[in-house]
Structure 1
Amino acid sequence: MTANVFGGLSRQALDWVESNWQGAVLEYAKPLEGGTSSLLYEIFATKDGKQHSVVLRLHHKGEWLDQEPDLAKHEAMSLELAAAAGIPAPLIVAFDESGTACGMPAVLMTKVSGSVILPPANDRAWLDGLAKTLANIHRHEASGFPYEYFAYNDARRLERPKWSRVEGDWMRAFYIVAAGGPPADYRLIHRDYHPGNVLWEDGQVSAVVDWANACRGPAGVDVGHCRVNLAQLYGTRVANEFLLAYEYYAGPSFTYDPYWDLLSLVDTLDGSPAVYPGWQAFGMSGLSDELVRFRLDEYLMSLMERFDDF
């Protein structure tokens, strides 16, 4: 085994993969694009006379592991839950919660077919597929799943956004979110559902990936997170079209409340907004930091109007 052929993966990591992938003779590996919170590799091997591949996720960010030291176990349990629920997702092969065996906390999973598609402009069939897939995820109650939703940002501690043209409206949004949300039924939520985590094949959704944050929580959190991403990618109108499509597929099981949209928007703030690197890795062009900030302001104002009308 040579480091170059295996994309710089350590001998320790490769030995761990081989020991958990019975009968496989490792051949080479390549980094996968789009991952920003962890290292992703596709590892190829010969097994039973045929070539197969698996995906290895390595959690390397110390600040994330300090907050959630069981990230690998969390994703492994989430993948088991998704499989039991019949949700198209990778299957868990093995995980190393502490990183003692692999060198870093690790998740080894099957490689699912399909690829991320970010159309250059709104595509109704694409948006429809995103909405239908998310509604199907939310049909599962995930009773007994030990992970529950929590907000990523404390709205009471957020500073005035100097980058915005509507600073005062952002401060009002912080106050609304800090006051707390409405009662909500808890369902299985992906917690990072956006176009970069949905794979397509032959015009259909083939799988949903990146389950490291799945938990039980309000469906509106998933809907809101996807809407924030769509607003940045394509504008508020497309985010609204996604909401309408989701409401259609979810039916009476979902009651919209703009609070979850506002919380999801506030949850994305981490300094001055900028273009998410994963979008560029998947071929999305034409975005700039200035455009993203403009669209976030526009989206915020659309949510504040919903509160006025609610």
Structure 2
Amino acid sequence: MDDARRAAVEGYLRSVSGDAALRIEAASLLSGGAIQQNWALDVVRHGAPEAWVLRTDNAATLAVSLPRAAEYALLRAARAAGVTVPEPLFLCEDPAIAGAPFFVMRRVAGVAAGHRVVKSETLGGGRAALAQAMGRELARIHSIAPPRDDLAFLGAAPVDAGRAFIAAQREALDRQREPRPALEWGLRHLERTAPPPVPARLTHNDFRTGNIMVDDGGITAVLDWEFAGWGDPAADLGWLCARCWRFGNVAREAGGIGPRAALYEGYGAVEDARVRWWELAAHIRWATIAIDQAERHISGVERSLELALTGHIVPELELEILRMVETRDA
């Protein structure tokens, strides 16, 4: 964060925090955040140190990513429903302050890096305990139902989330440079086997290992709400269980962390066949997102080795989609 931007942010925080003497002692860009930037701020307010995070846009964003004002509102709604999220503090929608809208939330302690979480036997209180805790967090998220005036930006809830997903993914594939027959094949399988619709609930849509902060005592924060929307609750369970989010620990079906049964136990009543339908859908969705991520690099809008490498995971996802379809058609 350059000096001018830091000074502008500091001035804004003084005006909204109730402390005209507030100062930013340090600001450092946190790792990760291919779509958004997260800045760790060490702040002194009313003479006491506080640890905050400033979350703002990268140079290029995905069309399906919600703006920061929406993500801030989602954090407030989730916190009110008992979901373990960082406390949202301030929202700035004026792009002149930091170059883009941003919000500030409290910084929480813990580990989110997927490759570390899946290798630990103790983080989150142990593997089965953490899988159960993830189920409980999802159940709290799914307790939020439309309509909600504070979440009006999410629009109308879909009548049939599964059919809406298929239509959206087909549109996403139609705009790509190259044909993707394996993804089309997977979509056709989903179309033929779609479960009947259920009442929509709030879905996080990126609830997975890597977006869940944990310490030895349990979950300390559910992060990254930029893809949230109204949908089928089983979509979140399927996304978490997808092989692509197990970080190599494929035997642990609940995010590479613990057994699927423990996740279901923590959640409550679960229709396993519906979750597995959405698990296949998760691989297709992540593949189309990965293609779009790579396009940000290829187009020259945002040159990034991370974005370029993301595109290279698509063949592996396509292979898994073909394997899943073959297994279920057998």
TM-score (norm 2): 0.71
Of 165, 169, 184 in structure 2, the residue corresponding to residue 154 of structure 1 is: 169
Of 247, 266, 274 in structure 2, the residue corresponding to residue 249 of structure 1 is: 266
2:191 is the counterpart of 1:187: no
1:154-179 deviation per Cα after TM superposition (whole angstroms, max 9, x unaligned): 236637x9x9xxx8654421223456
Partners of 1:254 and 1:114 lie apart in 2 by 32
Give secondary structure in 2 for the equivalent of 1:158.
Answer: helix
- Give the CA deviation at 1:294: 4.2
2:197 is the counterpart of 1:202: no
- Give the CA deviation at 1:19: 2.4
Counterpart position of 1:17: 13
Counterpart position of 2:319: 297
Counterpart position of 2:134: 130
Matches within 5 A, 1:1-310: 3=2, 9-23=5-19, 24-64=22-62, 71-97=67-93, 99-117=95-113, 118-119=116-117, 121=119, 123=121, 124-125=127-128, 126-141=130-145, 143-144=147-148, 145-146=151-152, 147=154, 148=157, 151=165, 153-155=168-170, 158=173, 170-177=183-190, 182-228=196-242, 230-231=244-245, 233-234=247-248, 236-239=250-253, 242-252=259-269, 254=271, 256-257=273-274, 258-270=276-288, 293-294=315-316, 297-298=319-320, 300-302=322-324, 304-306=326-328, 308=329
2:103 is matched by which residue type in structure 1?
V
1:89-135 deviation per Cα after TM superposition (whole angstroms, max 9, x unaligned): 11221213352444311111122232215335485334444334323
When residues 254 and 26 of structure 1 are mapped into structure 2, their CA distance, relative to the original with a 3 A threshold, is: same
Give secondary structure in 2 for the equivalent of 1:297.
Answer: helix
Give secondary structure in 1 for the equivalent of 2:69.
Answer: helix
Q: Contact 2:242–2:280 at 8 Å: present in 1 too?
A: no
When residues 192 and 256 of structure 1 are mapped into structure 2, their CA distance, relative to the original with a 3 A threshold, is: same
1:264 is matched by which residue type in structure 2?
A
- Give the CA deviation at 1:36: 1.3
Give secondary structure in 2 for the equivalent of 1:252.
Answer: coil
Partners of 1:260 and 1:251 lie apart in 2 by 18
- Give the CA deviation at 1:290: 7.7
Partners of 2:279 and 2:186 lie apart in 1 by 11
State the number of aligned residues.
Answer: 287
Partners of 1:242 and 1:185 lie apart in 2 by 27
Q: Contact 1:261–1:303 at 8 Å: present in 2 too?
A: no
Partners of 2:246 and 2:325 lie apart in 1 by 14
Give secondary structure in 2 for the equivalent of 1:238.
Answer: coil
Q: Contact 1:122–1:238 at 8 Å: present in 2 too?
A: no
Partners of 1:175 and 1:217 lie apart in 2 by 20
Partners of 1:217 and 1:11 lie apart in 2 by 41
Partners of 2:228 and 2:169 lie apart in 1 by 20
Unaligned regions of 5+ residues in structure 1, if any?
276-287
Partners of 1:301 and 1:192 lie apart in 2 by 23
2:280 is matched by which residue type in structure 1?
L
Q: Contact 1:224–1:265 at 8 Å: present in 2 too?
A: no
Q: Contact 1:99–1:105 at 8 Å: present in 2 too?
A: yes
Q: Contact 2:287–2:314 at 8 Å: present in 1 too?
A: no
Q: Percent identity?
A: 20
Greater helix share, structure number? 2
Unaligned regions of 5+ residues in structure 2, if any?
122-126, 159-163, 295-309
- Give the CA deviation at 1:226: 1.6
Counterpart position of 1:278: none
1:235-293 deviation per Cα after TM superposition (whole angstroms, max 9, x unaligned): 54323665433322223265641332222211111466999xxxxxxxxxxxx998885
Partners of 2:93 and 2:10 lie apart in 1 by 16
Q: Contact 1:198–1:208 at 8 Å: present in 2 too?
A: yes
**Of 145-154 and 96-105, the range deviating more from structure 2:** 145-154
Partners of 2:169 and 2:77 lie apart in 1 by 29
Q: Contact 2:186–2:325 at 8 Å: present in 1 too?
A: no
1:18 is matched by which residue type in structure 2?
R
